[in-house]
Chain A
Amino acid sequence: MAEQKPPAVPAKRVQPEAVEAWDHPRVVELKEKFAESVLSAVIYAGELTCTVDAGQLTDLCSHLKTSGFTYLVDLIGIHYPEAERPFTVAYLLHNMNTQDRIRLKVEVSESEAVPTVTGIWKTAGWLEREAYDLLGIQFDGHPDLRRILTWEGFNGHPLRKDFPLRGIDTGAAVYEDRYPDGGGPVMKEAPAPPAAKSPAKEGD
């Protein structure tokens, strides 16, 4: 549309800096109510992230829900194997009226469980199941914590950093009598159906 191309401007490429955000109004408010639980507050690229203590999580979340964060956008599980508390769960919340977003992070160790937020936002049901399935994070009080993306009987948590990319032998071969583990020729004729269903296999 212009007659000559405008001079090429080198694109801006400055990775933003993470900035401490203790004076952000939302953080100030949370600090007032739940003083020791708010462990850190950072703003990066316009997003506010607060790390909180797992014990007070449900109270914090209920408070945030009543202050307008009615939409749980996402629940992210992250595995930091070298950290003291390897599992981090990040909750991304959104306020439908002011279009504000806030990210809450909790850190837990392998044996601790994160309190569930399914009582606060129904969305969390499957999102927590996914974090449990892929990372092994336990959620305390979840009504139906079972695997969702992998199959029943799968051993292991695929998104952990020690789970290899090409997979492991999870010992979860279904129909071992017909299709032996590790491959092998497919049976030419089906064997006689088993007399009784083994109780370990859940009905399909």
Chain B
Amino acid sequence: MFDIQELELNMGPQHPATHGVLRLVLKIDGERIISVDPHIGYLHRGTEKLFENQSYQANIPHTDRMDYVAAATNNQAYVGAVEKLLGIEVPERAMFIRIILAELQRIASHIVWLGTHALDLGALTPFFYGFREREMILDLFEEYCGARLTLNCMRIGGLPCDVPEGWLDRVREFVELFPEKLQDYHNLLTENRIWKLRTVDVGVISPEEAIDWGLTGPPLRGSGVQWDVRRALPYEVYDRLDFEIPIGNNGDTYDRYLVRMEEMRQSNRILEQCLKLIPEGDIIAKGVKIIKPKPAEVYFSVEAPKGELGFSIVSDGSDKPYRVKVRPPCFVNLQAIETLCKGHLIADVVAVIGTLDIVLGEIDR
């Protein structure tokens, strides 16, 4: 007589909490999630096709637009891949400055994550506090390369130019200021009862499953797997720097939150060390003008704020790459959303999207 149907709810492409144009088709029973099917591709711009049609140097600005929140690490991954293909050795000063840019970018990206994640769950204030510090970082970027968001701040073989006068001192000012601000963010949320109720035991994933789904970055480390590309496959000068890899115990949203907060602190530590160790020297390898590698293929990855970001480049002897494939961390992380959301309520889907920290530019390319 009565027929119980599950409701198919469209958390559509336009939605304040899906961080971009993501469409989630939810099948729900009352408020319980039965299945989640993400539909992506709304921001697909054919980046990989575009890569094949321009020279290696000209492709660098394309990489900024993928994960537009963390452009410096995108640049680093692409440029690192081309350098590995060609066997170019980057001068030390350039490597240190690259790491400074990458770690500043990591802090900026995590601040965006914190603000939007908290905002989705109802806490309005961490967003404003975080963006105050992010403004300082963006000002530093603007001083260096002229852009705040899509930086285009690295070149094959090094960097476009040396740092302006006093830039390193301003980075030092930021580094000294940041720990107490980080404590402010902790004060607002970490011990807050409501925050814990919303995030503990939400979106739990075990370490084996996390590796099987290919999760990387904080989603993997939140489940207790201490794996970070900077330690596992060190690139540039990370093997000389001393930092810890935070992990969580339970693999829930709260642990991923704590992991990212601690990563910000560790990035600050790395910045401090870089500022001490940075040598004088060249900032770009000499003689890298026209790039025509022999046919070969290579893969190079970095630890982006979202996870392992990798570029596979296949060359065929011409000055344009034959095939460039991006390994986007958010794309692979988003796949696991059904596992993370099963059995939870709709309000938790919002929390899970926030904790995976997705940027549609990278997912869709």
Partner of B214, one of A49, A122, A150: A122
Query: A122 to chain B: which residues have CB within 8 Å?
Result: 209, 212-214, 335-336
A44 B332 Cβ-Cβ under 8 A: no
List residues of chain B with CB under 8 Å of any chain A CB.
10, 40-41, 44, 46, 48-50, 53, 84-91, 157, 208-209, 211-214, 225, 227, 232-233, 278-282, 285-288, 293-294, 296-299, 301, 308, 310, 312, 314, 322-323, 325, 327, 331-332, 335-336, 364-365
- 14 other A-B residue contacts (CB within 8 Å) besides A14-B87, A126-B332: A8-B286, A11-B157, A15-B86, A15-B87, A45-B87, A74-B325, A92-B312, A96-B211, A101-B233, A103-B299, A122-B335, A123-B332, A126-B335, A165-B53
A11 B287 Cβ-Cβ under 8 A: yes
Rounded to whole Å, the gap between the CB of A176 and the closest CB of chain B is: 21
B48 A134 Cβ-Cβ under 8 A: yes
Q: Report 15 cross-chain contacts, Cβ distance below 8 Å, ordered by A residue.
A: A11-B282, A11-B285, A18-B296, A47-B298, A71-B211, A73-B308, A73-B327, A74-B299, A74-B310, A90-B312, A122-B212, A127-B332, A148-B41, A149-B364, A159-B48
In the A-B complex, list the 7 residue pairs whose CB atoms are closest, starting with the nearest. A123-B214, A11-B285, A149-B41, A74-B327, A76-B325, A149-B44, A12-B89
Residues of A within 8 Å of B, CB-based: how many? Answer: 50
Q: Does A197 contact B (CB under 8 A)?
A: no
Query: B85 to chain A: which residues have CB within 8 Å?
Result: 15, 45
B282 A73 Cβ-Cβ under 8 A: no
Query: B325 to chain A: which residues have CB within 8 Å?
Result: 74, 76-77
Rounded to whole Å, the gap between the CB of B172 and the closest CB of chain A is: 15
With A6-B281, A96-B227, A121-B212 in contact, do A74 and B312 touch (Cβ < 8 Å)? yes
Q: Does A175 contact B (CB under 8 A)?
A: no
Query: B84 to chain A: which residues have CB within 8 Å?
Result: 45
Rounded to whole Å, the gap between the CB of B98 and the closest CB of chain A is: 15
Rounded to whole Å, the gap between the CB of A122 and the closest CB of chain B is: 5
B225 A13 Cβ-Cβ under 8 A: no
A96 B233 Cβ-Cβ under 8 A: no
With A2-B280, A12-B87 in contact, do A78 and B296 touch (Cβ < 8 Å)? no
Partner of B232, one of A11, A76, A99, A158: A99
With A11-B287, A149-B364, A159-B49 in contact, do A99 and B299 touch (Cβ < 8 Å)? no
Rounded to whole Å, the gap between the CB of A200 and the closest CB of chain B is: 18
Chain A, residues 100-111, CB within 8 Å of chain B (1/0): the string is 010100000000
Q: Does A115 contact B (CB under 8 A)?
A: no
Q: Does A1 contact B (CB under 8 A)?
A: yes
Query: B312 to chain A: which residues have CB within 8 Å?
Result: 74, 76, 90, 92
Q: How far, in angstroms, from A50 to B24 measured CA to CA in the complex?
A: 38
Query: A204 to chain B: which residues have CB within 8 Å?
Result: 10
Query: A8 to chain B: which residues have CB within 8 Å?
Result: 282, 286
Partner of B213, one of A123, A151, A158: A123
A45 B298 Cβ-Cβ under 8 A: yes
Q: How far, in angstroms, from A159 to B327 measured CA to CA in the complex?
A: 16
A123 B335 Cβ-Cβ under 8 A: yes
With A5-B281, A8-B282 in contact, do A73 and B310 touch (Cβ < 8 Å)? yes
Q: How far, in angstroms, from A14 to B40 measured CA to CA in the complex?
A: 41
Chain A, residues 1-37, CB within 8 Å of chain B (1/0): the string is 1100110101111111010000000000000000000
Rounded to whole Å, the gap between the CB of B207 and the closest CB of chain A is: 10
Q: How far, in angstroms, from A7 to B86 measured CA to CA in the complex?
A: 24
Q: How far, in angstroms, from A148 to B335 measured CA to CA in the complex?
A: 11
Q: How far, in angstroms, from A122 to B365 measured CA to CA in the complex?
A: 22
Interface set, chain A 52-79, CB cutoff 8 A to B: 70-74, 76-79
